[in-house]
Structure 1
């Protein structure tokens, strides 16, 4: 059995045998006797602290002093196109395209791009169009001093019998090692849900996807300054769902117990200028030239179906989205792709070409 499979089985088994802790148990749907609750298999685990070394890449290879497994590219102005290659014992590897932009806050604060370093990488080289020097961050999610976390485990969003909604299992923030000491005050508030937007991470997934989660969290929270991870939920290739942006309450995604027609989601940072009332879901992986796994697509359909049922959004409709903060408006599918908001190829050309399959499945009856 390979190491990745062993790690995954340990992840799935985390908290097994522990008592279920009810984090929320409030009436849903106007007192009709149904309830939404988040249940977490409570337990403790430990994770390495994320480390970072910031380096300016000025047209030549740079070599971090310590270990690193991801690199953040942070061009001036938060946008741009270029290329990156990693160096190792056998010399430089192939150039990879990198494009920065499209993600960010409703205030227009865009952020950098993230790349996974290949095994054995000792350095990297970055070239961005029109920039002589580019700020980078070499991120280490694996070898830092370990810290113990309580409450780590798996959660279950129980839907209280809402028609079309299915119980949604997920890995809690503590379950993937989110260091809450990094997170700032998220002041975007919450707004009625209007749409759901699907993304891809545009890079390979680590053998332990929790490392990828921690790298994205560091990029969004610390380097980009978005106060927290930009997505509400993330899904790995095996179909595991991860809790993203903190809500300040017992439920993921929602600021309070969702009532169809008036459910409110916390404001993320995943579609610059169009975040309020927009739930962001990111598929971990790069789907530029390959489709997401069947397990990931199945998990996406289940997740979106449940979120739409809880919020009262018709997943088969087109809507006139209106940002209640900025007034920005656009007609989109209620289940949109990131590229529908402009300025990005996300969620990848291969996936985008067949995204109609996701919408068709969402339009079909549950069964």
Structure 2
């Protein structure tokens, strides 16, 4: 599909001064940045080796809705080198997610080894595949703020210890191709909808990261927005191994995550697509990396704790509470932790077995300890 190309801008300055330490001046021409458009070559999983016509950095595997019932515990991928040798099988760790107005889907994104010329997927016949290239596409131009800051302290909220400030790399800062959010007629594929925040949920991408974490975010965005047809990324915020935080789901041109100045008990977040059936009023924060067998870096853990503390302070969510989550659209009530893991909501491995086992100690308790 041919899409319009947009000169993107960072989150609008209007409204940010209430949260940022000081308003930023409009971006000058010299502030304009570039990032390559993500390329993808699609295929359908048949169990045979796929050899894309271009170099690729990752492979995405998106299960069709009817495949969800069959399960994907045996799904795996392996890669072929230039000398025709196929490497060992790597298990896929699919996530179930998506916007509420579309059927749910299960997807996985796997980093390809340098020099791979082909790949083979088993246990997922009929799944939609894509060989993804995050480095060689045409350069897109981005202007405006590269980073913004959110701080409970600036609003007089005193329930946060340490005076944490959440510094966020904007969509323009990491190079979001905003044309993916629109159809050929310019209609928004996923219009923003807002609800008062009730819960926070933690995820992982289940993908080995590269040295370019902005490119990793662009890859996840492309998987969700283009390959799965959602029109945007399914997470509100993402955290890389160095602790940098990235703006996710587009919130309509105002603040990241919110529809306006967030006040405890009144803050409204844009609905994303990270926990199908429980997306409304639920902020999704995703760590870049695969934590099936290891923990996130200490920098990522520390950053996630800060992110959750600030979000709790801004929204009034008590991280020590077990809540009665009430879906604001259909009224369904689900008992849940106020700060939860993806697997607490749905049958999924996310945020990885190793991380999930240690979550209460390394994350949730630290968030609670910073809550006065």
- TM-score norm. by structure 2 comes to 0.86
Q: Among residues 4, 12, 15, which one is paired with 1:24 in the alignment?
A: 15
- Choose 238-247 or 35-44, whichever is displaced more: 35-44
Deviates more, 1:51-60 or 1:284-293: 51-60
The CA deviation at 1:109 is 2.8
Q: Whole-Å Cα distance in 2 between the matches of residues 71 and 116 of structure 1?
A: 7
Partner of residue 19 from structure 2, selected from 11, 36, 49: 36
Instruction: Give the counterpart of 2:369 among 356, 359, 364.
Output: 364
For 2:180, the equivalent position in structure 1 comes to 182
Structure 1: give runs of 5+ residues left out of the alignment.
1-20, 27-34
Alpha-carbon distance between aligned partners in 2 of 1:309 and 1:227, rounded to the nearest angstrom: 30
- Does 2:98 align with 1:94? no
Q: Deviations over 1:11-61 (max 9, x none)?
A: xxxxxxxxxx944257xxxxxxxx434856842111111111111232211
After alignment, is 154-163 or 42-51 more displaced? 154-163
Number of equivalences: 337
Quote the residue 1:60 is aligned against.
48
SS at match of 1:112: strand
Q: Counterparts of 2:57 and 2:321 in 1: how far apart (Å)?
A: 41
Would the aligned equivalents of 1:101 and 1:344 in 2 still touch at CA under 8 Å?
A: yes
Does the residue aligned with 2:296 lie in a helix, a strand or coil?
A: coil
Structure 2 alignment gaps of length 5 or more: 1-11, 183-187
RMSD: 2.0
Match of residue 121 from structure 1: 116
1:139 aligned onto 2:127: no
Match of 1:157 in 2: 150
User: Which protein has the bigger strand share?
Assistant: 1
2:57 is the counterpart of 1:74: no
| CA distances 1:194-253 after superposition (whole Å, capped 9, x unpaired) | 000000000111110011111100110011122210000000000000000110132111
* Displacement of 1:158: 3.7
Q: 2 CA distance for matches of 1:346 and 1:280?
A: 12
Runs of 4+ residues over 3 Å off in structure 1:
37-42
Matches of 1:328 and 1:232 in 2, distance apart?
A: 23
Residue of structure 2 in register with 1:320 after alignment: 324
Tell whether 2:307 aligns with 1:303. Answer: yes
